Amino acid sequence: MTLTSPRLARHVCSLPPGLHLARLPAALVEAAAREVTQIESQWLDGQMGENVVFHLNLPFPLGFPTAPVFRLGSEETACIERLACAARAAFALEDRYPLETMHAIVRIYSAKDGSKIGWHKDKRCFEECVAGVVMENSLPRREGLRFRPDEAHLGDEVGLVERSGDGFMFEGEARHGWEHGFSMPQDIEGEHRRVTLTMRWYRTNDPATASKLANGGVRASMGRSACSSSVRKGAVRT
């Protein structure tokens, strides 16, 4: 992974403190990317907006799933789950965060609809470390996730130049002092896309969160199935 900065070339453009990079095994990433394509054609029904998403294990927000949720152990997401586990191991998070509290989300950014995710910081209901894997980046210049410091922090806006299999994890200043986001470059048309897997772990020390987690992450009245992968394309969504 390399970096780009919109500022002057004499500025040394550096990563936000607390952003770590890794490479994930190609075979694992390719298998997960194939699975995303399958799910997209079978389960996602024109779910456009900021981008197309589905969740793994737990919904976001807890209690009110906004997109299909594939539980751990779902056949349809076996390879994506393996990739999430590999990323968790690559960043030494296995002993810190249990798989059961993981919320993973797959986002598909397409040049066809200029999809994006605006500048933001991740919510505090999630544990300190946030990890991601690029499953596909077919943009001609492979622009990826961008970071910029907030008003209280110093640094230049920086953008990752990505290849599929690139993994990142952020914590500390990168998590709380910098924002991140992605916008499809305006001059790109056609089939180019960026597909990512982002993993966060719900904090369990808050009683409200703990009780929702004990309930499988959904409202009591909804039952498990309303929040499972039963929202196949064409079916009624909750």
Ligand X SMILES: O=C(O)CCC(=O)C(=O)O
The residues in 10-49 that bind ligand X, with binding defined as CB under 6 A, are none
140 in Cβ contact with 125 (< 8 Å): no
Nearest to 231 by CA among 47, 10, 20: 47
Applying CB under 6 A, the site for ligand X has a residue count of 10
Number of helical (H) and strand (E) elements in the chain, helices listed first: 4, 12
* β-bridge mates for residue 22, sequence order: 167
The SS3 call for residue 195 is: strand
* Cβ-closest position to ligand X: 196
Cβ proximity to ligand X: between 35 and 162 the closer is: 162
The SS3 call for residue 194 is: strand
198 binds ligand X (CB under 6 A): yes
In the set 88, 146, 180, 212, which binds ligand X (CB under 6 A)?
180
Distance CA 68, CA 220 (A): 18
Residues found in the chain: 238
For 130, list phi and psi in degrees, rounded to 5.
-120, 130
122 binds ligand X (CB under 6 A): yes
Minimum distance, C-beta of residue 53 to ligand X, in the bound complex (Å): 8
Minimum distance, C-beta of residue 122 to ligand X, in the bound complex (Å): 6
In the set 93, 102, 105, 108, which binds ligand X (CB under 6 A)?
105
Minimum distance, C-beta of residue 100 to ligand X, in the bound complex (Å): 20
Minimum distance, C-beta of residue 8 to ligand X, in the bound complex (Å): 27
Cβ proximity to ligand X: between 107 and 175 the closer is: 107
Cβ proximity to ligand X: between 147 and 225 the closer is: 147
- Please name the residues in contact with 95: beta carbons below 8 A apart, sequence gap of 6 or more: none
Minimum distance, C-beta of residue 220 to ligand X, in the bound complex (Å): 27
Distance CA 83, CA 89 (A): 10
Minimum distance, C-beta of residue 143 to ligand X, in the bound complex (Å): 12
33: its two tokens: 């990317």
107 binds ligand X (CB under 6 A): yes
Residues of the shown chain interacting with ligand X in the complex, contacts defined by CB under 6 A: 105, 107, 117, 122, 132, 145, 180, 182, 196, 198
